[in-house]
Amino acid sequence: MQAAPDPLQERAEKLEREYARREAAARAMGGPERLARRAAAGVLSARARLDRLVDPGTFIESGLFATSAVPGDRDKSPCDGKISGFGKIGGREAAIVSNDFTVMGASSGATNGRKIAHMRRVAAQRGIPLVFLGESSGARMPDHMGSRGMGSLLGNDGLQYQRLRETPWASATLGYSYGSSSWYSVLSDFNVMRKGAVLAVSSSLLASLAIREEVDPQELGGWQLHAEVTGFADMVVDTDEEAMEAIRRFLSYLPSHHNEAPPVAGVPPGSGARMGEILRHLPASRTQVYDVRKIVRDVVDEGSFFELKPRFGRVAVTGLARLDGRTVGIIANNPLHKGAAMDTEACEKMTSFIVLCDSFNIPIVLLVDTPGFVIGTEAERRRAPGKIMNMMNALALTTVPKLSILLRKSYGQAYLNMGGGRNSDEFAAWPTAEVSFMDARFAARIVTGLDETDPRFAEAVAAMDRDSEVWDIASIYAVQSVIRPQETRDYLIRMLDVHRLRLTGGVGAHMMRAWPTSF
């Protein structure tokens, strides 16, 4: 005799079938054809990017069954084009939004706007980083059209683009990124850009219509523009996989939130092994160029230097690194470019990096070798005085430890901008260092009116060059230490320990928490 059907089991099976059907539809993204085209082009899907970014098995999705708020679009808008949730990155929790371009171009709509707002709110309230994987066609049309669309979509969240540095933000520009996708990229502390991607206010088509001439997408917002001209790309990579690894590595240097110190890592074998020969990187002549990054790599923990904006403002080098396992921010003048005379791009780059470090309790190490600032008509047109003072103000507002090492030369106002004159907690110098208001040859010409053909010129230069050696500034305690070059790593490690923020548990005052990420 056949047993009677179990109503409870039937109900459970029916619910399971319905759940499985809806789950499959939500996870299908834009369908197999669109996903296959991306795979053939070597581009990961939104879900594959998540798999690469987070620790295996840790992602929990938020909003899997979300769809467009427009009834007619519900069946063609799985997750409303943006996949969101929480996952662990290097063992630490993070909130993530991965744009799915295969669904309505990942365009901005009412539902996915709520998803982003929720990720932002949880990240801020629970002290976890926020990651945006950007690729979007911009605002969804016709949803945004008309006054009702503007009022209900663009006008419904007054905090949508507010950025206080409570937790780190990281982003990746991985395709055509217009509208909100570009906004979140430039609001982030770190943005990695894949070659071939485009970051712009709006599409090249709309730009072409606006200015009535053809606009090339790469000229509008390609990686070279943002790596070399705007500075919006902190790093450029060839693949999506490399972009995910870059975000993982960036976050490994930072705390999860602004009220804790950065994590401590193990010290790799070989760290400091080349310090005995570090002077080989510094030419004997003060006018000969060299790449300061070679000195940086010798000083910091082996393999730990993570450079930011390497193609932008190249007279300055900025990057995260570790010393004895502890995160530090490196700012260095690089004579390889323009003799290390600081231009407006370098000032912007250093200012932005100073704010990042101060916001997330990262001590700053400055390696100094600069003849001053780029001067002239073009510099003034590029607002040099304002950029110089922005950097000076940021350095003055910094409350994390600041250590400066004067390698070779420091002239004029740049002496202050690079940590001199009590603008760092400890100012040390190599015996090769010299400090003055300007190059003695320029000073001699200005003061005496003589040129190099005059037999009296050499005597005038010697007079202007008097008392510029490191021993002179050390004698009045305007530098706290003169150190042998090979002692630099040990000196920095020791002084970072001395200046650790013990009274506040390694946490600074964050006086620049609302400083804009782009200015």
Q: What is the pLDDT of residues 332-341, one digit of tens each?
A: 999 999 999 9
The pLDDT > 90 percentage for the chain reads: 68
Q: How do residues 283-317 score in pLDDT, each as one tens digit?
A: 988 889 999 999 999 999 999 999 999 999 999 99
Question: What 3 state SS string does 225-249 have?
Answer: HHHHHHCCCCEEECCHHHHHHHHHH
Categorize the per-residue pLDDT at 132 as very low, low, confident or very high, splitting at 50, 70 and 90: very high
What is the rounded CA–CA span in Å between residue 202 and residue 180?
A: 10
Contacts of 383 (CB under 8 A, 6+ apart): 344
Dist CA 217 CA 205 (whole Å): 9
Q: Quick one: DSSP state of residue 36?
A: H
pLDDT, residue 117, reads 92
What average pLDDT does range 11-34 have in this prediction?
93
Residues 6+ apart with CB under 8 A from 206: none
In this prediction the pTM is 0.91
pLDDT of 173-204, one tens digit each? 999 998 888 899 999 999 999 999 999 987 66
Residue 468's pLDDT band, with cuts at 50, 70 and 90, is low
Q: Is the peptide bond before 385 cis (omega within 30 degrees of 0)?
A: no
Tokens matching residue 131: 């990651």
Residue 153 is predicted with a pLDDT of 65
Distance of CA 58 to the CA centre of its chain: 25
The confidence band for 464, taking pLDDT boundaries of 50, 70 and 90, is: low
Q: Would you give the end-to-end CA distance of the chain in angstroms?
A: 80
pLDDT at position 224 is 95
Give 376's pLDDT tier (boundaries 50, 70, 90): confident
Question: Which contiguous run of DSSP H or E holds residue 70?
Answer: none
Asked if residue 166 has pLDDT above 80, the reply is yes
